[in-house]
Structure 1
């Protein structure tokens, strides 16, 4: 591995400071936070501003904010992101931690489509595949995604549609689905007990893009022989952590909308 260049490291340290607080800083602020000499900070800030990585804040003399060049770099990075590929990588990491089946899914109409899957190594495991389509109301990922929709969009997707059952435990009544989605919104996690498969329970968490919009859900699926309330809590935390990691890879930093 090559040697790190101190000047570049310091310049990047300065830029990363703007991810905190209100996004504006003065040269004295930077000097204090990084413990660098004032002359060094002045030279680095001047250089970054000359290249449009920083710009002065008009109404606040002496303060700077991130410039258009950082936006251009971020936009180019976002263009290169592949949700399925990133989802597969995160699903693999989660599966390695818990040794259960992990899925990432997106919403299409009133259905979910699985775009990533990593299997458990157990002899008893879930039989599924990336690319499979299932009714959203019967799955933890689907209910998580439905619960994340604005009310008007939710109504558009499900009003007038039959809530078909996949198992005797599937939700088939609109009022029951509405209550389940309200609980998911409050909890921030979705749980499904044998609603899509009579032998499997799942827990799912939301995945957000750079704007804070929910674009996918990540779930951990477990055969009932390995399911318990304690296991549900453990896997709920793991699903939330995996979904947060995938959101981070997609550029999510702010407050959900």
Structure 2
């Protein structure tokens, strides 16, 4: 393995700052990354010359993401059938329950949302496509972690290292996480009980591709004020069917259960 190139790493760090901010000035980038002003100036100039960043109209010292990133993202989206298929099915699931529906993939020890359909309620979960969260704190993340081999799970979560929580309800014990993942494997559903947001609960189900690998998870999320055990069970079955339909769209065929 070659070593990481510091200049490239810093340029990517700059681009990733825009995940949470639509526009930034050079001083804001300098403050956010703790880099020297001259380094930031050189990197921003290079990224602007290559159209990865563009000056904001009317504010030439403020930058936003450029067309080159849109082009690369579009190519990625075209290749990712999951995102296209997920959006259509998530819309139908959301229409059935009028709650927020997410589809997410696993990236290391994080989840990244690739599709989202909002509830029409004025009080609803705040999230966005592209958002990244710790997998062990979310329903979709725990579902996908339950599909990993013990070796892959150990690589992400060493058994001797405590996990970082997002709320007081988050799982922080490696042993407890492993026990919880076994429960998820048995039930086929994963719940986030205010573990990533103290005011939100969700239930998630697995999404498989044509090889039988778990490639994503789909969830229904709702504020705690609209959640109760009966709804949790109802939405669990709804998301189970939605995830199964998405799996079928991706070419998955469940194993035969034998003669009836």
Interval containing the TM-score (normalised by the shorter chain)? 0.5 to 0.7
Cα separation, 2, equivalents of 1:255 and 1:163: 35
Residue of structure 2 equivalent to 1:240: 240
Cα separation, 1, equivalents of 2:227 and 2:220: 11
Residue of structure 2 equivalent to 1:184: 184
Residue of structure 2 equivalent to 1:146: 145
Residue by residue over 1:55-107, the C-alpha shift from the partner in whole angstroms, topping out at 9 and shown as x without a partner, is xxxxxxxxxxxxxxxxxxxxxxxx97611111111111100110000000000
In the TM superposition, residue 144 of structure 1 has moved relative to its aligned partner by 0.1
Residue by residue over 1:175-207, the C-alpha shift from the partner in whole angstroms, topping out at 9 and shown as x without a partner, is 111111010001010011000000000000000
Residue of structure 1 equivalent to 2:204: 204
Residue of structure 2 equivalent to 1:100: 99
Please identify runs of 4+ aligned residues in structure 1 that moved more than 6 A. Answer: none
Does the alignment pair 1:82 with 2:81? yes
TM-score under structure 1 normalisation? 0.67
* Structure showing greater Rg: 1
Cα separation, 1, equivalents of 2:85 and 2:161: 33
Q: 1:134 to 1:246 in 2, by over 3 A?
A: same
Are 2:162 and 2:174, in contact at CA under 8 Å, matched by a contact in 1?
A: no
Are 1:211 and 1:254, in contact at CA under 8 Å, matched by a contact in 2?
A: no
Are 2:161 and 2:174, in contact at CA under 8 Å, matched by a contact in 1?
A: no
Cα separation, 1, equivalents of 2:211 and 2:104: 19
TM-score under structure 2 normalisation? 0.66
In the TM superposition, residue 254 of structure 1 has moved relative to its aligned partner by 3.5
Count the aligned residue pairs: 178
